[in-house]
Structure 1
């Protein structure tokens, strides 16, 4: 486990998946991350790469050849190396190898950089194509935050507050983990979404191209909360395991296959293409209070 800290915060990251596992505020002694109870969901903040979500039949085709990837890809299960570290920042690196090429026939360098701010942190995904052929990929975050955050409050005391009024429908997820073809009404000219565990009875709430680039977790019963800013991420997932005391706020550059997907990787919704020598970078920022 690796840690970085400043006067206010201490965060811990596991090298497996370069997974953020703890955000602790030393001043008011609050832990913001879900503890990873395996009875509900044993992860904390997995990195989604080289796909986000599920492939149809767990299979995609590239240059007429089939490849298999499980949900959210392999990065979350791989050991990352530490490339650089300072008291308040750390950078992890994963490179393509024979293992990754067996089901993902592209060369890549994947970096995830954590940097502490006075009252939060930035998480940066940096993908580089070191080879000549184009690199196709998706990348996203899956951080899980404790709800309730403080004693004496309950799950239903909390709500999500978007930067802007949203008229965003929810894109349902099929039993196979695929995006259905028709959205369902969800947010109707509102900035708020009250939290209740029944919201996630049919998997995640998936938003495509929301008007907002930030969402906060708040409660009228406590001043403790957090704000996630995700500019440049076209999709947002909101999820919790059944009856679990957390909510995931997931900024994505990519999305699961649709139920009518043709499974062609280069045509996949949300896919990113990098030419030789190019670098793709996106950053989400978490502020805690």
Structure 2
């Protein structure tokens, strides 16, 4: 377990998946990240790479060959190298290897940097194409934030405020794939009240959300998590059934649409990098 901290926050990470597993507000002792109870969902903040969501038939086609790929890709199941670390920063790196090339025929490097400044944790991603050919990939974040239901608080005391959306256009999930149909959720004052029922049909998947800042807050106290992100065009919000957490998920890429032809180069949201080209994105969480 790798730990970084400053006077306000302490963050811990697992080399397996370079996963953020704990973020503690040192001023209050409060844990911000979901506990990872496997009875509901054993994850905490997995990295989704080189795919986001499920593939149709758990497979894709590239250059007339079919490859199998698990939901959300393989990075969360790989050990990352700690490239360097300091008191308030750590950098993880993952490279293609003989194992990954069997089901993902591309050479790549994926660097993830976590930095603490004051009361903010920022996560930076850098994907580089180290192949001689074009690299196709998606990447997404999946942090789960704990919802406090103790001391007289309830799940529905929480809400998410959006910086720039009056309504949300949702793509329903059907057997983990994206429906071509959409549903609209109207917001009150740009705010979405949380409830267990909200996620009864799985995640809320959005491909045209305008907001780049979301605030998860409790309307009974001053607890607030400010979530910002850059260079992620798609977004998911999710929780397991009756579980006391909510995931705020910025994505570059989404699950396959129901009618997708499984051609990896034509997958919705897929990115293409030329030789030696790289791609950067980030998200941050500020604790108040």
- Which interval holds the TM-score relative to the shorter structure? over 0.9
Deviation per CA, 1:197-242: give whole Å up to 9, x if none.
0111111000112111111101221111201101221111000011
Deviation per CA, 1:2-37: give whole Å up to 9, x if none.
000001010000000000000001111111000001
Distance in 2 separating the partners of 1:191 and 1:102: 46
Deviation per CA, 1:137-179: give whole Å up to 9, x if none.
000100000012763311110000001133321100002x000
What does residue 3 of structure 1 align with? 3
What does residue 247 of structure 1 align with? 246
Structure 1 unmatched runs, 5+:
none
What is the 5 A alignment of 1:111-190? 111-148=111-148, 151-175=151-175, 177-187=176-186, 190=189
Q: Using a 3 Å threshold, how does the CA distance of structure 1 residues 179 and 46 change in structure 2: closer, same or farther? A: same
What does residue 84 of structure 1 align with? 84
What is the 5 A alignment of 1:209-248? 209-248=208-247
Distance in 2 separating the partners of 1:77 and 1:257: 21
What is the 5 A alignment of 1:15-26? 15-26=15-26
Structure 2 unmatched runs, 5+:
none
Distance in 2 separating the partners of 1:212 and 1:93: 30
CA contact (8 A) 1:4 1:88 kept: yes
What does residue 192 of structure 2 align with? 193
Alignment TM-score, normalising by the size of structure 1:
0.97
CA contact (8 A) 2:231 2:280 kept: no
Distance in 1 separating the partners of 2:107 and 2:149: 41
Q: What SS does structure 1 have at the residue aligned with 2:236?
A: strand
Which shows bigger deviation, 90-99 or 222-231? 222-231
What is the 5 A alignment of 1:4-83? 4-83=4-83
Q: What SS does structure 2 have at the residue aligned with 1:156?
A: helix
Q: Using a 3 Å threshold, how does the CA distance of structure 1 residues 13 and 29 change in structure 2: closer, same or farther? A: same
Distance in 2 separating the partners of 1:64 and 1:190: 49
What does residue 282 of structure 1 align with? 281
* Matched residue count: 288
What does residue 259 of structure 2 align with? 260
Distance in 2 separating the partners of 1:180 and 1:190: 28
What does residue 99 of structure 1 align with? 99
Deviating beyond 6 angstroms after TM superposition, the runs of 4 or more aligned structure 1 residues are: none
Deviation per CA, 1:226-269: give whole Å up to 9, x if none.
01101221111000011100000000011000000011101110
Q: Using a 3 Å threshold, how does the CA distance of structure 1 residues 58 and 260 change in structure 2: closer, same or farther? A: same
CA contact (8 A) 2:159 2:217 kept: yes
Deviation per CA, 1:95-131: give whole Å up to 9, x if none.
0001001000000001111000211110111101112
CA contact (8 A) 1:24 1:32 kept: yes
Distance in 2 separating the partners of 1:31 and 1:251: 21
